[in-house]
Chain A
Amino acid sequence: MVIRIGLAMLQGARHEHVEALYNAALELEVKIEVIPLRSGNNISDSKLDGIVLPGGESTTMRKASESHGLLSSIFDYIDENPLMPILGTCAGAILLLDPGSGRSSYIDAEVDRNAYGRQRDSFQSLLKIKNLSIPSAISEGIAKEQILEGDHLPLSVNQDSKKMGDDEFQGIFIRAPKFTNVNSDVEKVVFNQEEVVGLFQKNKLALSFHPELTTDYRFHRWLISKAFEKN
């Protein structure tokens, strides 16, 4: 069985997710295919098992989508498949909390954009994961660079992949949003000290940071395992 993960090719850090997904699949010893979603045309018959909404500039992503309807097609698809596993990082998380165009939030909370300030205030911090079950890696292999056809080369991250505790994660916050007014139905699953930076509801995970910029693929493993369960 091949698990099909759709990746919204709006704008921003997309190739990093491709790399992370294939590496996570290798760690879980499952086969996946990353399906680039470029326009709204054929999403409804693309038979996806999971979706990634990547980071970028949320304003730009929305504007970009207006002209070709990609986002509204993705949201329609999610509405038809309400338990579809989704990983949204940074701008992608903003889209889950505030899909716009009168649609109601997929995760019941509000979001404050660029809440920590400008790029100068962007930061790294060691986070705590709570109450999120992430399958362990079976194999340690590193995926050969997986390139989407007709697309640019991925950029490998030069970074010490220092081993961390099972409940710790290196958080990279770039002009990050902040989650506010989190409804009690929503599970708070990742924290920076007391601040919640990861939300979970109905198989949807919104992270205000960028796991795709690290070589730690746990959140991508989470998505693949949820997509696997769906089958």
Chain B
Amino acid sequence: MENKFDLGSMNHGTELLKRGFARMQQGGVVMDVVNAEQAHIAEDAGACSVMALERVPADIRKDGGVARMSHPDLIKEIIETTSIPVMAKARIGHSEEARVLEELGVDMVDESEVLTPADLYYHIPKNDFEIPFVCGATSLGEAVRRISEGAAMIRTKGEAGTGNVVSAVKHARIIQEEISYLQRATDEEMDYIKNKIMDPFQRINDWSELNLQIENTPFGSLGECYKNISNVITDIQKLGRLPVVTFSAGGIATPADAALMMNMGMDGIFVGSGIFKSENPTQTAEAIVYATHHFDEPSKVTEASTMVGEAMQGLEIETLDVKLENRGW
């Protein structure tokens, strides 16, 4: 059906449209899927989006090697078979992978520590894109930097592929405590906080022997970066929360895990390996959606917990060779 206006002449890719897309995800569950069949199961179970990738984090962890953006054919196949939004992962700092994903019609890019980082100094300049980005964070500073770089949504990093919720809880707690500190900090403390949050923009200095006098970053001059993080901080002080939709991710494996994170104030849930590494993916998917929608009703979370079979095998964080939460800064 033809449009009765020129779609090309409309205003695309504004901050309101990017953050607005994330707002439509609230209260939902985003599920990792590796093929069209899994995408169907996720959609039927009530996922609000699917994350298209070649291997779920548990397998990436097992296989080792460099983890990259998924093959375009796989992403296209999943885009063509689902009616809900499709997200896909690009490596940290890999703007060209993100460009490919934008070109393919992906609805949101996840700049993800689950893949091997491509840039040790800078994340992707997300304001240069028309599609929105979600980024991981382990602390308030990381979240503020990502939002100032243009992220339209934040998720806790947790520890992907472990089925262990402890890191997701840790990151949610740290961010919340730091927000409450931000709200009661003195002017002097605020200066310290802002300078601390600015430091990683000059990370490249740590690897140079010349004591670089850095002035510019891919996100603008250091002065502009400072102004941007100050604006984000002002928003946070006003709202008492991050100014973008904030999901929990990394280790959520059961309906009760999902309810736990929702009760901690998260806006929604990412489930990676937890669904398709469980005994019965369809039931697990439905049960996690149900528990996420009814996180504050113990009887319904109980009902959801009863629906599922064996959860995925979990991993102790202390025994891991690679901690994904340490990727990104």
Contacts and interface: CB of A to CB of B under 8 A. Distances in A.
Chain B binds chain A: yes
Interface residues of A, number: 54
Interface string B1-37: 1011101001111111100110111111000000000
A10 B294 CA distance: 10
Interface string A118-143: 11111111000000000000000000
B92 interface: no
B238 interface: yes
B85 A124 contact: no
A65 to B, nearest CB: 9
A14 to B, nearest CB: 7
A contact patch SS: loop
Interface in A162-208: 172, 174-175, 178, 180, 192-195
A120 B105 contact: yes
Interface stretch (A23-31, A77-85, A149-157, A222-230): A149-157
Given A113-B83, A152-B267, A155-B239, A16 B48 contact: no
Contact of A57 (B3, B49, B296): B49
A118 B107 contact: yes
Contact of B5 (A12, A60, A157, A192): A192
B265 A122 contact: no
B contact patch SS: loop
B24 A57 contact: yes
A90 B23 CA distance: 13
Contacts of A9: 27
B24 A13 contact: yes
A150 B296 contact: yes
Interface of A: 9-16, 38-39, 55-57, 59-60, 63-64, 67-68, 90-91, 112-125, 150, 152-153, 155-159, 172, 174-175, 178, 180, 192-195, 210, 213
